[in-house]
Amino acid sequence: MNNYRELHIWNKGMQLVEDVYFLVKKLPDDEKFGLISQIKRCSVSIPSNIAEGAGRNSKKEFARFLSIANGSTTELETQLILSVNLKFLTEKEINNALTLCKEIKNMNFALQKKLR
């Protein structure tokens, strides 16, 4: 499974990163080294781990990296919800990103199941 760029889940992950980078521009500057940094890192981790796993030598390794990507997706959801709770963003603003997270997690579980 070397051509990760053809994976629908990887493309969704890349779309999510773009959405997240747009969203964090709305966060206060004093969160630059806190929440903004963390949100960016975990969003980038999602497609990165999918790509890395696809480049590995076995289905078992690929599934492990998908699991890591799933953890990052859940972490991102939490940070986006926290941004709403802290009144930095609105639910409407994060809705698309949360929808993408849900889609990615569903695709991730299906792909992991297929690899077993």
- What is 60-110 written as a DSSP string? HHHHHHHHHHHHHHHHHHHHHHHHHHTTSS-HHHHHHHHHHHHHHHHHHHH
Domain ranges of the chain: 4-115
Q: What is the pLDDT of residue 113?
A: 96
Inter-residue contact 13 to 103 (CB < 8 Å): no
Q: What is the pLDDT of residues 28-86, one digit of tens each?
A: 999 999 999 999 999 999 999 999 999 999 999 999 999 999 999 999 999 999 999 99
Please name the helix (run of DSSP H) or strand (run of DSSP E) that holds residue 47, with its range, or none. Answer: helix 35-54
Q: What is the pLDDT of residue 49?
A: 98
Q: What is the pLDDT of residue 107?
A: 98
Angle at 11 between CA 8 and CA 17, to 5 degrees: 145
Question: Which CATH class, in words, describes the domain spanning 4-115?
Answer: mainly alpha
Q: What is the pLDDT of residue 1?
A: 60
Query: Residues near 38 by Cβ (< 8 Å), separated by ≥ 6?
Result: 79
